[in-house]
Chains A and B, each alone.
Chain A
Amino acid sequence: MMPDHPKIELALGPCFFNWSAERLVDFYRGIAEEADIDRVYLGEVVCGKRMPFTDAIWPDIMEMLTKAGKQVVLSGLAQPVNKREREILRQQAGYDMLIEINDLSMVPGRAGQEFTAGPFLNIYNEASLRLLADRGATAWCPPVELPLVSIQKIAALVPEVDIELFAFGRLPLALSSRCYHARAHGLRKDACQFVCDRDPDGMNIATLDDRRFLAANGIQTLSDAVHVAGVTSGQLQATGIRRLRLSPHSLDMVKVAGTFRRFLDGELTCEDLNAELAGQGLPGPVCNAYLAGDAGWKTATLPA
């Protein structure tokens, strides 16, 4: 029997950064063995050029996580550009496993089978989510700029789709065809030397008055600040959110997940959550104001 208030689950989002195969294997081993996480998204979502370096490791990682009782979801590339990348997405769309779609290219190939609609899709309202639900979407991670009031309206109108909130990490803000890591190093994307691997949390970008502002990760631009959705379990349930997504960074994600779990279980207040996370080596200051419909870099008081 379902409890009246099912526990809010935790998910680990796909890693946005160019981590080496060895680092990824170690990272996911730690998640499998120690993390209080229910669902893990895997795969390269940012840059297709990185794929050959990690292709071989995913089957073993999937097996390891599955054996540890985690639900494994394969995340698709957000901006496929060439034939090779399109072919990869076409194959992945046919896999008999959970997948996350981050570009609509993949929807026809999925042919109505179940999928998660990822945060890179422009789903901003109930009617567009409904349209994807009719084509197989059973879960949805909203775009990061969508405020809680909008998510709540959509959740009420499309209750059959599980909603997962982007809750921890530098915010994925933009994609481009240009590689900013390459440009910053005087290179071009086609001969990038994979310099994005030097910045495991992204390359810090400051304003002219030396205020930290953004972070570059190849063709992706992220926030400098680390978004922390300190929304209580009760409020998440009232909003229609069933799961929080934690986006991987180089700090101890097992510890981050544990901190979130204690917050969701009511052992920590929102202030405690922010303070504990700040003490764990975040790549930037805490922010959360997208959830309140304000500029994303700010911090707002969220409904308790």
Chain B
Amino acid sequence: MVEELLLQEDYQIVDLILIAIALLVVMGLAIILFFYFSRKRIIKSELEKANLKIANQKEVLQATIITQEEERKRIAQDLHDAISSKLNIVSLNANMLSLKDISSEETNKIANSILKVTGNVLESSRKIAHDLLPPTLDKFGLDAALEELCDEVAESDTFQVDCHLDASENLLAKDQELHVFRIVQELFNNSIKYSEATTLSLQTEIKKNLLYLHYSDNGKGFDVLEAKKAKGLGMSGIENRVAILNATLEILSSPGNGMVVTLTLTPSKDEN
């Protein structure tokens, strides 16, 4: 009887220990499984992040290549229309001059024509070069270049252009100036192409060491969210430059209400 009781007690203790060990094993398994699944999840999300980044980079690259091709096409077109065809005329005229039986009156006429055409060609080539990179920007800085841009747009007489520029002289680094200029150029382009606006306005101001650039038109406006979804080349170009500048860009627009764009940027002349 006593022995039986003892035996029972013994089993009780052994049982208890076994149960405790089993519990520890289960707990250990649970912890290992927890780490295993967390690990899987973290690695998965990191992979997704990396893929997203790669996709984004691809998009930027593609946009860059397309822009480059478009630009090349435009330059080729310009060269062909404005220079090649006119130089053909010059060459033809020069050929005529080399003929022997030609009166001095005719010679004069041809020479005049050549002079006129070469003058035109010179003007065109100057214009093409200017469109590629305005020398004003390089020589006289952003303010002058922007003013010139405003004047050029105003010249066409389709638009009234208000241009108020706070002196941002020497505030921006050279590459920053170029990016800002390109952004403004693109904004003007968009307005000219799509907005049917009559008044454009450009303003820069410097407040608390920040450069604010306000641009607006009174055109037909657009849905900002949809425009962002259907990123055109011009828009993605602007966004890429804004990202490079580390600036912020705010676009306010809705159908029928024109567009207001504000670019805020920290000048970083010191770093360069």
- Do A and B interact with each other, yes or no? no
